[in-house]
Structure 1
Amino acid sequence: MYRILRAALRLGKVGETPPRTKRDPSSASPSGFHHSLSIRHVDAGSCNGCELELNALNGPHYGLEQAGFRFTASPRHADVLTVSGPVTRHMVAALQDCHNAMPEPRKVIAIGDCAGCGGVFQGSYAVMGGVAEVLPVDLQVPGCPPDPDALLRGLLQVSGERIER
């Protein structure tokens, strides 16, 4: 046990540094976000592929907390609503209630192809379509599922940050 602890202390922090960002002056507004965002995620009927990639952001490799973002359980504390999967008929009211409970300013991010247009579930009797059919979408992150880098870039874009590499 002590051997493993000594090796971990000697090795130090492993992972990549988060991308450097600069405040985008064109997005500065009195009602804008100031880099720190609380995220509320809703699965509207997906296959859970997008959730796996979203959960990967919490790991040490991507460092979501170091970038100033965190997940919250209550929509009343959230700044950004992320939605994955096509919107099923049973989730329409719950999704609208969650969106209405969020304080202004609020942003909506559609994660994945299913949230954008319905994906492989498009045309099913139980599916209403993409998130834009129910809520105003500010950003869509394409992919099936999108990789965590694309999700982090989308969050940075919504927060008004410019990414430098």
Structure 2
Amino acid sequence: MMYRILREVLRLGKVGEKPPRTQRDPASASPSCFRHSLGIRHVDAGSCNGCELELNALNGPHYNLEQAGFRFTASPRHADVLTVSGPVTRHMAAALQDCHTAMPAPRRVIAIGDCACDGGVFQGSYAVVGKVAAVLPVDLQISGCPPDPDALLRGLLRISGEQVNS
């Protein structure tokens, strides 16, 4: 059984697709130090985990996030970008601010999903502070419930200083 699987892997080779073709945008507001390399720290501030499933899809062989030069980090001290999903709950507001201040400058914040962008269905709840922009300065919003991996990859490419050709 194992030999059959190994033969199939050798026959197929690499099945990941190349990231979308990009071209440099000299007028981009992102620093050039982010080009082709980006450390991502993700924080779930109170979401339903739909956005996390789509973020995890980026690490699979179809999207191959690392081929584009992006990687998830376990520590905010090694991250360039903070991605936040879900509305910010009262108990996560301080932890989110601590994570943001632990990141080295220059740092970027991406709000992922409708809940992070405007509060979504949780807007007005007693347990929710609100959208991410109410707690941190947000550089990019990727809307959708949940946003698909293509939209997430385009957003990461945009924040890294690349301009995506659709």
Normalising by structure 2, what TM-score?
A: 0.95
C-alpha distance in 1 between matches for 2:7 and 2:26: 46
| Paired position in structure 2 for 1:139 | 140
Percent of aligned pairs sharing the same letter: 84
In the alignment, the residues of structure 1 paired with residue 4 and residue 123 of structure 2 have an alpha-carbon distance, to the nearest angstrom, of 54
Inter-partner Cα distance in structure 2 for 1:29 and 1:17:
23
Partner of 1:113: 114
Deviations 1:68-88 (A, max 9, x none): 000001001100000000000
1:27 match: secondary structure = coil
Counterpart mapping for 1:13-162 below 5 A: 13-27=14-28, 32-162=33-163
Aligned length: 165
Q: TM-score, normalised by structure 1?
A: 0.95
Q: Mark the CA change 1:42 to 1:30 in structure 2 (over 3 Å): closer, same or farther.
A: closer
CA 1:119–1:28: 2 relative to 1, 3 Å: closer
Counterpart amino acid of residue 39 in structure 2? S
- How well do the aligned residues superpose, as a CA RMSD in angstroms? 1.4
Alpha-carbon distance, 1:14 to partner: 1.6
Gaps (5+ residues) in structure 2? none
Unpaired stretches in structure 1, ≥5 consecutive residues? none
Hey, what's the Cα distance between the residues in 2 that align with 1:30 and 1:84? Answer: 24
SS at match of 2:61: coil
